[in-house]
Amino acid sequence: MMAYMSASERALYFFGRRLARCVYRVTAFGTDNLPEGGCLLLPNHITWVDAIVLQLACPRPIRYIIDEEFYRKPILHPFLRLLRCIPIDTRHSHSAIRAATEKIAEGEIVCLFPEGQLERAGTLLRLRRGYELIARHAKAPIVPVWLDQLWGSIFSFQGGRFFTKLPKRIPYPVTIAFGKPLKAEAADIATVREELLKLGEFCFSKRPSLNRHLAEPCVRGLKKRPFATAVVDGLDHSALSRSKLLGAAAALSRYFRKEFPDERIAIVLPASKGSMVANLAVTLADKVPVDLNFTIGRAANESCCKRANLRVAISATQFRERLKDFPWPERVLKLDDLMPRLKPQIILWWMISLLVPARLLLRLLKIPKKGGHSEAVLLFTSGSTGDPKGVVVSHRNIVGNVSQFRQLLDATKDDAILASLPFFHTFGSTVTLWYPLIEGVRIVTYPNPLEATKNAALIERYKLTLLLATPTFLRGYLRKVETDKLRSLRLVITGAEKLPLDLAKNFEERFNQRVFEGYGLTETSPVVSVNLPEPEPAHPGDYVQPSSRLGSVGKMAPGIAAEIREPETNRKLSLHESGIVWLRGVNIFEGYLRDPERTADVLQDGWLKTGDLGRFDEDGFLYIEGRLSRFSKIGGEMVPHEAIENKIVDLLDLSGKDERMVAIVGVQDKAKGEALVLLSAVDVDLAELRKELYASGVPNLWIPKHVQRVETIPVLASGKLDLKKCRELAPT
C-alpha cells in the first residue's frame, strides 16, 4: 500500500532528487528486499546527508525519525514537516514510537538511525534499543541498510572535522545495500549488528578500486609529492625521495622482465631501503615477491623454496655472508653489485617518473589494468604449529587491506613509521611496506626490531610518530630505553601476539605512551581490528565515542563481516557469545599454495575460520580469548592454556621477566583425552604450585599434572610461542 503524497511533497521530491543527483551518484543493491507494506529501515549513520542519499536509493518515500532539537531548527523545520518526519525526544519517546507505529501500519517506510549519533571514526557504534519497541509495537519487519563510501566526504567527520574539506569527486559515488527483512522478534542487537557488518562487507567488496594491480596504487602514491622522502635507511641514514625510489624500482623491474621468466622471485633481506626497492621492483615487473624468513632455519626455508619453485633470489653481499646455512636458489642477485650497473637506467626512469603523468607511466611500465584475485605476494607462516604454509595474498587483498587500514589510522602527511618489522612478516609487509608506498607515509627502516636502543634513537632523531611492534619487542624498550626517547610518538600499536596488561601498564607509566592492541592474521593480509585513541572532545565534558577498550583487540576495520560459530559443530552463535571467530572480507587470502586440503579446512564459502576463540561486546569491540590450538579438551571441557600460564606467572612472580619463562602444552592421555604439561625455564615445586593454583580458584582440570624443566621456552622471531618445538620438549 502506497502512502498519499501532497502536491507540495511531490514537488519537493521531484526537484530535490534532481538536485541531489547532481552531487551524488548512488548505486543501490537489494531494493527488492523492501517489503510491499510498511517496514522499519535501520541504516548506519556516517554523515549529515545520509537521509538525502538514502532517499535517492529508495523507490518509495521514507519517513525519518529525527531528533526533536534538530527537527525544530527554523531553517529545516518547514522542509522536515513537509516530508512528514517524526520528531523524537529521547527522554519522552512514547509519542514518537506511537507515530512511527502508525506510519508503518499505513504501509509507509519509516527510518531510524539506530546508532543515535554520527560516527566519528567511520566504524559502527553501539546500537540503541529503541528500534525494538517500534518494530514490536508495529509487528513490522526490520530492514538493515548500509551506506558505503560516505566516510571521507565533506559531511563526514574524517580528518577530525565536518564540512571544511574539499569534495574528492563530483558527482560523489555512494553504494547502498538493503538487507533481507528480519522479523521483529528476531532482530536483537547482536543480529542487527551482524547483518549490518555483512552488508558493509558486501558494499566494500563492490568498490572498483579494489581490482587494480598492486603496482598501480604504488605508482600513483609515489607520484604524489615526488620530492618528499619515502624511506630512510636507519643503518647508514641514506634516504630516497619518492621519485627516486620509483625510478630505481622501475629500472630494476625492466631488468627482471628481460632476464627472468620466473613467476616468483625470492627476497632475502631485512627491513631496509634495498628491500623496499626490491619488493616494489618485483611488483612493477608483474612478478610475485616472496620475502623469505631467514630466521626459521635451513629445513623450513628449503620447504618454502621447493613449494614456491623459487630459482632466483635478491639479496646483498654482506647479508648473504651472514647467512651461512641458508638454502640459496640457483641464482642470487646482489643489489650492491647490480644497482651501480643500472645507474644510467635509474636516472632515466627517475626523470620519466617526474615528467610523465601517472596514467602514461603505468603504460610505459606495462602494468596490467587489473590484479584482482591473482597472486600479488606470497608469505610463509612462521611455522609455529608445523611446516610453514604458503599464504597466497592477492592484489585485491593488499589494496583492500591498505584501504581498510587507511580509514582506521587516518594518517597525515607529517606521520612517519619505524619500519623495523621484517617484510617476511605479514604485519611488516602490509603495514610498513605497501601501506607507506600507497599512502605516501615516510618510513625509517632498521633491520632488527630487537635492538630497542637503536630503534629508539631513530624514533628520536627522525621524530617518528608511529611505532608498530609485537609485545615481545616492546619489552626491550622498557629495559633499555630512556624515558624521553619516544616522546614524538602519537601511536604505539602491537599485534601478532596477545598484549599482556602488565606490559601495557608499565610501558605507559615509563614513556607516557598508551599501547593499543590490534588483531590480524597472515591469512587476513593482516589487519582485522585495532584499538585507537579516543578523539578529543569538542568541549570539556562532552561525550566521546569509545575507540579503545582494555582487554579487547579493538573494533573491526571497515568492510569485514564476522560470525561466531561453535568450535565443534560450526553452529552459528550470537556475536555476543564465545566461539570460533569466522571472517569475510576483501582482505581474506586466496588459499594456501599447493595445499587444497588445508585451504578447504579454513576457507568455506568465502568465510575464513580463524582458529581463534572470541566474542564481541555491544559496542563492537572484539575480544580474542585464545587460539583453538592453545586449548585442550579434558573430560569434555575446553581448557585454555594461556589463562593457566597467566595464573602461574602471577603466582611465581615472573611478570617482570623479559623472556617467556613458562608454557603449557597438551599431550595425549588415555584416561581423559589430554593432559597438561608445564614447560618451565625456572625451577618449580609442582606440589606447592598445584596447591596454590587450587587455592586461587583454578579448577582441578586446569591444573597441570607434570612439569618439564627446560633451558628456554622456544619462541619464534616474532615473539610468538613456537608450539611445534614446545610439543617436542613435552614428555609423551
Task: Based on the fold, state whether residues 502 and 410 are members of the same structural domain.
Answer: yes
- Write the pLDDT tens digit of every residue in 300-346: 899 999 999 999 999 999 999 999 889 999 899 999 999 999 999 99
Instruction: Match 615473539 to its residue by C-alpha cell.
Output: 719
Q: Count CB-CB contacts under 10 A for residue 56.
A: 17
Angle subtended at Cα 627 by Cα 622 and Cα 632, rounded to the nearest 5 degrees: 135
| Mean model confidence pLDDT for the chain | 88
Last residue of a domain, one of 204, 233, 254: 204
**Does the pLDDT of residue 492 top 90, yes or no?**
yes
- Is the distance from CB of 87 to CB of 72 less than 8 angstroms? yes
Question: On the CB side of 329, how many CA atoms lie within 13 Å of its CA?
Answer: 26
Last residue of a domain, one of 142, 177, 204: 204
174 Ramachandran zone, left/alpha/beta (phi>0; psi -120 to 50): beta
Which of these ranges, 79-88, 266-275, 347-356, 636-645, has the smallest mean pLDDT? 79-88
- Is the distance from CB of 278 to CB of 267 less than 8 angstroms? yes
**Does the pLDDT of residue 684 top 80, yes or no?**
yes
Task: Based on the fold, state whether residues 611 and 639 are members of the same structural domain.
Answer: no
pLDDT at 404: 94
Q: Count CB-CB contacts under 10 A for residue 108.
A: 21
Does residue 544 form part of some domain? Answer: no
Does residue 154 form part of some domain? Answer: yes
Average pLDDT over residues 27-56: 90
Does residue 2 form part of some domain? Answer: no
Residue 645 is part of a domain; what is its CATH number? 3.30.300.30
Place 669 in a pLDDT band, splitting at 50, 70 and 90: confident
Average pLDDT over residues 360-364: 96
Task: Based on the fold, state whether residues 288 and 348 are members of the same structural domain.
Answer: yes
Does residue 210 form part of some domain? Answer: no
**Does the pLDDT of residue 1 top 60, yes or no?**
no
Place 145 in a pLDDT band, splitting at 50, 70 and 90: very high
Nearest to 135 by CA among 38, 62, 37, 68: 38
State the Cα–Cα distance between residues 404 and 503, nearest whole angstrom.
28
Task: Based on the fold, state whether residues 142 and 272 are members of the same structural domain.
Answer: no
Find how far residue 173's CA is from the centre of its chain: 24
Nearest to 320 by CA among 308, 337, 303: 337
Task: Based on the fold, state whether residues 276 and 354 are members of the same structural domain.
Answer: yes
Place 95 in a pLDDT band, splitting at 50, 70 and 90: confident
Which of these ranges, 266-280, 512-526, 674-688, 714-728, has the smallest mean pLDDT? 714-728
Question: On the CB side of 284, how many CA atoms lie within 13 Å of its CA?
Answer: 30
Q: Which amino acid does the sequence have at 36?
A: E
CA dihedral (677, 681, 686, 692) positive or negative? negative
Task: Based on the fold, state whether residues 572 and 650 are members of the same structural domain.
Answer: no
- Write the pLDDT tens digit of every residue in 572-597: 999 999 999 999 999 999 999 999 99
Q: Count CB-CB contacts under 10 A for residue 281.
A: 25
Task: Based on the fold, state whether residues 49 and 84 are members of the same structural domain.
Answer: yes
Query: What are the residues whose beta carbons fall under 8 Å from the beta carbon of 422, sequence distance 6 or more?
Result: 270, 271, 291, 293, 428, 449, 717
Does residue 627 form part of some domain? Answer: no
- Write the pLDDT tens digit of every residue in 227-281: 999 999 999 999 999 999 999 999 999 999 999 999 999 999 999 999 999 999 9
Q: What is the pTM of this model?
A: 0.88
The three three-digit cell numbers of residue 40, written as one number: 522499519
What torsion, rounded to 10 degrees, do the Cα atoms 421, 602, 720, 520 define?
50
DSSP per residue, 382-438: --SSSSPPEEEEEHHHHHHHHHHHHHHH---TT-EEEE-S-TTSHHHHIIIIIHHHH
Nearest to 410 by CA among 606, 255, 547: 547
- Write the pLDDT tens digit of every residue in 450-470: 899 999 999 999 999 999 988
State the Cα–Cα distance between residues 79 and 399, nearest whole angstrom.
42
Task: Based on the fold, state whether residues 584 and 690 are members of the same structural domain.
Answer: no
Nearest to 37 by CA among 108, 131, 138: 108
Output the CA–CA distances (angstroms, integers) from residue 116 to 1, 113, 129, 131, 241, in the order listed: 29, 6, 10, 10, 46
- Is the distance from CB of 55 to CB of 178 less than 8 angstroms? no
Exposure string over 384-410, b if 16+ CB within 10 A, otherwise e: bbeebbbbbbbbbbbbbbbbbbbbbbe
Task: Based on the fold, state whether residues 227 and 338 are members of the same structural domain.
Answer: yes
**Does the pLDDT of residue 658 top 70, yes or no?**
no
- Write the pLDDT tens digit of every residue in 394-427: 999 999 999 999 988 888 888 999 999 999 989 8
**Does the pLDDT of residue 374 top 70, yes or no?**
yes
Instruction: Indicate the number of domains in the chain.
Output: 3
Task: Based on the fold, state whether residues 608 and 640 are members of the same structural domain.
Answer: no
Does residue 538 form part of some domain? Answer: no
- Write the pLDDT tens digit of every residue in 516-572: 999 999 999 999 999 999 877 666 766 778 899 999 999 999 999 999 999 888 999
Task: Based on the fold, state whether residues 147 and 120 are members of the same structural domain.
Answer: yes
Q: Which domain holds residue 325?
A: 215-533+551-616
**HEC profile of 659-673:** CCCEEEEEEEECCCE
146 Ramachandran zone, left/alpha/beta (phi>0; psi -120 to 50): beta
Does residue 630 form part of some domain? Answer: no
Which of these ranges, 327-336, 382-391, 648-657, has the smallest mean pLDDT? 382-391
What percent of the chain lies above the pLDDT cut of 90? 55
Task: Based on the fold, state whether residues 255 and 126 are members of the same structural domain.
Answer: no
Residue 227 is part of a domain; what is its CATH number? 3.40.50.12780
Last residue of a domain, one of 204, 239, 258: 204
686 Ramachandran zone, left/alpha/beta (phi>0; psi -120 to 50): alpha
User: In terms of residues, how long is the chain?
Assistant: 732
Residue 23 is part of a domain; what is its CATH number? 3.40.1130.10
Distance, first Cα to last Cα, the chain: 71
Does residue 431 form part of some domain? Answer: yes
Cis-peptide into 526, omega within 30 deg: yes
